[in-house]
Amino acid sequence: MDNGHFHLGLKRRKIEDAILTMYRKVNFQQKESAWLEDQNLWDYIFAWYDLAKYYEDTPQDTAIGAHMLDLYLDCARLFRAAATDGKLKERRRDKAADALFQLNYYFNQLALNVERNVNQHNADDADAAGRIGWKN
């Protein structure tokens, strides 16, 4: 790994660590999913914006940490379950749906930026004659 990629990895890791720190501040054990009303939850969700923005501003980075994918999937499942839980008050179900929407939006932006970065990286690696397509 060259020095530039090392610094990119450190910058991304700092953002990922901030997301994990904010996630750990949310008490998901609260009765009746009261965590949906907690500012810590929204700080956590909005922290994903920083990661999406990082990939937008850093076309050299083409990797998403597996731990971030796991965290996203776990939270998306949790938010979806709360949004459809008929035992919760409508306000909390709406908050869960909002949380799911925001998380999905930021993760989608992140994924689109990484895909763009990969495509750009692959285009930069193409030879002068272009890519050869193989026919079956």
Q: What is the pLDDT of residues 80-102, one digit of tens each?
A: 999 999 999 999 999 999 999 99
Model pTM above 0.85: no
CA-wise closest residue to 65 among 120, 14, 106, 105: 14
Using one digit for the tens of pLDDT, what is the confidence trace for 26-66?
Answer: 999 999 999 999 999 999 999 999 999 999 999 999 889 89
C-alpha to C-alpha distance for 41 and 67, rounded to whole angstroms: 19
**Higher per-residue confidence, 126 vs 123:** 123
Per-residue model confidence (pLDDT) at position 131: 57
Residue 11 has pLDDT above 60, yes or no: yes
Other CB atoms within 10 Å distance of the CB of residue 114:
19
* Mean pLDDT, rounded, of the chain: 89
Contact 93, 85 (CB under 8 A): yes
Average pLDDT over residues 61-83: 95
Which residues touch 67 (CB under 8 Å, ≥6 apart)? 16, 20
Per-residue model confidence (pLDDT) at position 9: 77
Residue with tokens 């999905």: 104
